[in-house]
Amino acid sequence: MRIFTGKAFVLFASVSACSFLPAGDAAAMHIADGIVPFGWAAVWYAAALPFIWLGLRRMQTLAAEDLSMKPLVGLVAAIVFIVSCMPVPVPFIGTCSHPCGTAVAALLLGPLVAVPVALVALLLQALFLAHGGLSTLGANVLAMGVVGSFTAYGIFWAVRRFGAGLGAAGFCAGLAADWATYLTTSAELALGLQGAESFLSLFAAIAIAFAPTQLPIGILEGAMTAGVVLLLSRKRPDLLLKMRLLNAEEAKT
């Protein structure tokens, strides 16, 4: 696992170097190459890198404690990749919305491990599907992997503390993660593109543009997350017990 971590950082450094390459315009999912200025792209890379490093360290620890963790990480990474590849066209602005899947990753693996999982999904999409870009990979990882994962995990536990069941907590986690991801993306775009326009007005315009598609997608992602959690509570409660999403008493009932 230590070797894997080293290779992952070499890969990430190589992708970072691609930020210096010229990029054309694109209208696709995630933030595409050529949209965010290099200075801001570098800032988002710098902000995402510590979380990626901590996520790889956490993955290494979990894999050493439990051999079943590696296959689970691979399965969840495939889920995030597939779910976040489902484009929904946004009317009038030439781009797409999509669900994220990071709420499921955050709940089953923990929010730190969900960050490199999101990195892998976003990198593959940028390289092979033209979704997002290499220069903007840091921004996309920060929005979907970091903000989305930690929001999902925090909201899940906050709702559970109020006595809500697994389904309600899973729904709120998926909904909040999806909307938080797109609010963060809107903020990143507004900061990079504001020019003479104020940040708040541009942020509001971008967020409103995505609202017709992203609001219902967030609700659907909440339902999907709730469904996954409830299904696992019936079929594989051991996975939820392992991540302490379910206590032994709830597992029996």
Model confidence, pTM:
0.83
Model pLDDT, residue 161? 92
pLDDT digits (tens, 9 = 90+) for 146-182: 999 999 999 999 999 998 899 999 999 999 999 999 9
Model pLDDT, residue 19? 36
DSSP states of 221-245: HHHHHHHHHHHHHHH-HHHHHHTTS
Q: Is 97 strand, coil or helix?
A: strand
pLDDT digits (tens, 9 = 90+) for 207-234: 888 888 888 899 999 999 999 999 988 8
Which segment of 62-66, 101-105, 145-149, 196-200 scores lowest on mean pLDDT? Answer: 196-200
What b/e string do you get for 82-116 counting C-beta neighbours within 10 Å, with b at 16 or more? ebbbebeebeeeebbbbbbbbbbbbbbbbbbbbbb
CA-CA distance, 227 to 229, in Å (whole number)?
Answer: 6
Model pLDDT, residue 249? 67
Nearest of 129, 221, 143 to residue 180 by alpha carbon: 143
CA-CA distance, 46 to 64, in Å (whole number)?
Answer: 28
Model pLDDT, residue 96? 66
Could you tell me the maximum CA-CA distance found in the chain, to the nearest angstrom? 60
State the CATH class of domain 36-252: mainly alpha
Average pLDDT over residues 14-31: 44
CA-CA distance, 104 to 170, in Å (whole number)?
Answer: 8
